[in-house]
Amino acid sequence: MLNNIREALQSGKKSIDFRPYSKELTIAVQESLKKFRPIDSTSYMNNPIQLIDFFSGAGGTSLGFAALNFVVPAFKMLGGCDIDEMSASTYSHNFGTPLIQDDITRLAFEEGKLDSFLERIGYDSSKLTVMIGCAPCQGFSSHRKKHWNEEDDVRNSLVMAFAEIVKKVQPDVIIMENVPEFLSARYWRYFSAAKKSYKENGYVVKETIYNAAAFGVPQERFRSIVIGMKSNFVLPEGYLQPSQYKTVRDAISHLPAVAAGVASPDDEMHKSAAHKQSTIDVIKQVPHDGGNRPTGVGPKCLDKTKGFSDVYGRLSWDKPSITITHYARNPASGRYTHPEQDRGLTAREAAILQSFPDGFEFCGKSDDIYRQIGEAVPPMLSSAIASSILIELLSAPPTDFEIKNSPKSIEEPVSSSYSSVIAGIKTHGRLKE
């Protein structure tokens, strides 16, 4: 299979259907991900498909494509652009690309900025290009006006800034990741405006909501994925059933015990926040292995308000983690306490639960690192997306049977509450049809 994919990549012919091998390729890429160490441009300079990552963060999405290169030398990493200096530094350090700290709105709308950016990263318009744009939903903070109406807010959103860049560059593939709410009634106007722009520029656009746990991430993390290509394609599909999901025990039980605020002598990232004694006193009273904060323990305000059942709660050993966010360092922000040890999660534990390999190196101070981890697309998920994208680029058009049996695109806003949506994904592994 791999030799055939390599040959198709070199020849550029799309006469074979590689879709039946999607799971096999995904698993191979995820295995290679475990061995990742920072790379330099010499390792991918001659690869045929260009990759550009906007709103890149630390590079969780790009990491899946970099891992695929260890299996099939396909993607040339041109660069990741982020407005945050530490995130841009982490991306540059790990992928050997220029450090690009910039405001995507300037690249999209200021005369000459995008051309200068593309020249700087060595973009070649004659080559296949994949463009990533995991944009936040909110409108531009730097361009906010006091009395914007809804139409203005959509037009000036970060999502539309990415759509403007897509319009100008015309990449072969576009990828967007966001919270599930992106496909809800509340934010649908942002998505639908962007999708309209993509379709007007010749893209077939499909979108759905995934649980990252279905792709081997040891975490229940529901996210919307939007993919656009210049011809018809099928969406990626998770390959694990709920009974097969990776657990907290699978992910972090091998790590040595550490006290709060004390780093492991073998790994400086295996260090939690140095909690106040009052925080530790609360944690000690929380039952091990998935326990909740007992009533009357901790701040009194927590007993007066519904919705705080996870605060100070412990992770369960034999379940996937809850969603890891940039608050994962703080037990008072959710179920971010170790299953047994009396402390919050270490940065290493948070990174592993996000499926970052140990060899990936983060830049910045502790808060920077937790934020980069929490905001990232899990690399195990992006490995599956990368595998699917490569297969679609190399395969003959999908058959009616393949389209019918692939994940369905969401064409109407989903429930804003998500209770029914997420329940369906948990039960069936995909959205109910």
Cβ 305 vs Cβ 299: under 8 Å: no
Task: Given the residues 81, 134, 137, 301, select the one marked as catalytic.
Answer: 137
Per-residue b/e over 357-381, b at no fewer than 16 CB within 10 Å? beebebbbebebbbbbbbbbbbbbb
301 catalytic? Reply is no
Which helix (H) or strand (E) segment holds residue 166: the answer is: helix 158-169
Angle at 325 between CA 212 and CA 292, to 5 degrees: 95
Helix (H, G, I), strand (E, B) or coil at 360: coil
Which one, of 155, 172, 220, lies nearest residue 49 by Cα?
A: 172
Helix (H) or strand (E) holding 356: none
Question: CB-based contacts of 63: which residues, under 8 Å, 6+ apart?
Answer: 33, 36, 94, 356, 360, 379, 382, 383
173 contacts 211 by C-beta, under 8 angstroms: no
Could you give phi then psi for residue 380, rounded to 5 degrees? -65, -35
Where in the sequence numbering do the catalytic residues fall? 137
